Amino acid sequence: MPDYIVRPARTSDVRGILELLEPWVARRILLGKEVVTVYESVQEFVVAESNGVLVGCGALHVMWEDLGEVRTLIVADEWLHHGVGGALVERLEQNALALGLSRLFCLTFEVDFFTRRGFAPIGEQIVDANVYSQLLRSPDEGVAEFLDLAHVKPNTLGNTRMLKQL
């Protein structure tokens, strides 16, 4: 049995989520988030906790009727290779299925990790033209990443766009 649990995030976890995020922002691997933004989206997050300390987190953001994005997947360095990341993704997939989603998107440098979990790199035009035109109306940067819009390219150099059918 693992010495951590995966559970839905609470508002009291927001500071811990931001602490997990900070080293990755400093390394310019993940974009920073405002405190208010994390509070507003706390219901999207699940966390891994060991002895009252957050050791990982991840979020599921709904993008469309059948499509969600795995976001802000982070595991504390000392907890890498202990199954935490996989457990977080598994919980996010369960949440996605409960919401009626059938596809999950991620933008990642960790291609091997996501490939082992059934994700595959994607190319252009993975939604029909009508859905594409609707998604263009979203101010959400994750949607822009999914659509591979040119204005987000400077933020994603080297990242891989991946998709999984649930």
Instruction: Please give the pLDDT value at position 107.
Output: 85
80-101 pLDDT, tens digit per residue, is 999 999 999 999 999 999 999 9
Instruction: Please give the pLDDT value at position 6.
Output: 98
Q: Inform me whether the pLDDT recorded for 7 exceeds 50.
A: yes
Q: Yes or no: say if 13 and 42 are a contact pair by the CB < 8 Å rule.
A: yes
99-152 pLDDT, tens digit per residue, is 999 999 898 889 999 999 999 988 755 655 665 566 566 656 665 566 555 444
Per-residue DSSP letter, 148: T
Higher-confidence residue of 6 and 152: namely: 6
Has this prediction a pTM greater than 0.75?
Answer: yes
